[in-house]
Amino acid sequence: MIKHIPVLLGSVMDAIGDIHAARVIDATFGAGGYTRAFLNAGANVLAFDRDPNVLDDAKQIKQEFGARFEFIARPFSAMAELNDTFDAIVFDLGISSMQIDNPERGFSFRADAPLDMRMSENGPTVVDMFEQWTVADISRVLRDYGDVRPAVAIANAIKRKMPTTTFELRDLIHNPRDVAPVFQALRIAVNDEMGELSRALDSVPNLLNVGGRCICVTFHSLEDRIVKNTFRDWTTAPGDSHLPQVAAARFELIRARTPTIQEITQNPRARSAHMRGVVKSY
């Protein structure tokens, strides 16, 4: 299995600046690549991840860094429950290489496995959702989260054949170009990825200290649109733009970054990544 390679790590480190003795939330622990970089830079890190398969990596980092590292085995939207403030909050969104490359998880259509796709061990699988959803529900998921044009036809085929494995689902999709978007759409829906992201971002302004930074690395247009629109709202001064400004925006934008050709060559899964960030002004 290929270990997850942290995407845009150098750009993220540049964007958050000096974090020696800072308090940082790594919202998406994964294999701990970002967390380890933050700890090596002198930060204290609180990490979130709902995937039980990352626990061994979290325990290893805990042994190395002790009290400077804390891990919470929950979705990152749980940060809304924290009664504390931090100097940086970093999101590395999407699915990790570890999850894709483990065929038993059911994320990939390149290996036959049960249609699970859960990022945690809780909640319904894709198969469970097929039983609960109507054709209209499935069609809406495929259209909204995968931009799948034959969404209705594929939804009807799913309800008719009720696939339980990745290959069964793959084989009922006639156009090979629709396979990846269908798998992406179902994964996003089963894990409520867009809802998780929106809820977590809603909590960020109250969790950040003045001068604190929120950095998001996105991998597809849906999550990138949520981040971009949220950051635009935060960096827009309140009030009517046609009237005199009464208050400055609470946040300022950090220059967006994309991977270099060298990084894409070393890690092809980085090709669609975008890094966006903001710094809290007051």
User: What pLDDT sits at residue 3?
Assistant: 53
Reading the block at residue 112, the tokens are: 């036959």
Cα Rg of the chain, angstroms: 20
Beta bridge pairs of residue 69: 45
Interstrand relation of 274-280 and 208-218 (parallel, antiparallel or unpaired): antiparallel
| 163, 169 contact by CB (below 8 A) | yes
Q: Pick from 190, 152, 157, 189: which is nearest to 173 by CA? A: 157
Planar angle of CA 56, 12, 84, nearest 5 degrees:
70
Give the span between the Cα atoms of 215 and 232, in whole angstroms: 14
User: What pLDDT sits at residue 242?
Assistant: 66
Q: Pick from 172, 168, 217, 227: which is nearest to 197 by CA? A: 227
Q: Pick from 230, 223, 242: which is nearest to 205 by CA? A: 230
For the chain, give the longest Cα–Cα distance: 61
Interstrand relation of 251-257 and 274-280 (parallel, antiparallel or unpaired): antiparallel
Reading the block at residue 73, the tokens are: 């085995």
Interstrand relation of 274-280 and 44-48 (parallel, antiparallel or unpaired): unpaired
Give the span between the Cα atoms of 218 and 181, in whole angstroms: 16
Q: What is the pLDDT along the chain (282 residues), one digit of tens a residue?
A: 445 678 999 999 999 999 999 999 999 999 999 999 999 999 999 999 999 999 999 999 999 999 999 999 999 999 999 999 999 999 999 887 777 778 788 899 999 999 999 999 889 999 999 999 999 999 999 999 999 999 999 999 999 999 999 999 999 999 999 999 999 999 999 999 999 999 999 999 999 999 999 999 999 999 999 999 999 999 998 877 666 766 789 999 999 999 999 999 988 889 999 999 999 999
User: What pLDDT sits at residue 156?
Assistant: 98
User: In three state form, how does the secondary structure of 223-237 look?
Assistant: HHHHHHHHHHHHCCC
Beta bridge pairs of residue 257: 275
Prediction pTM value: 0.93
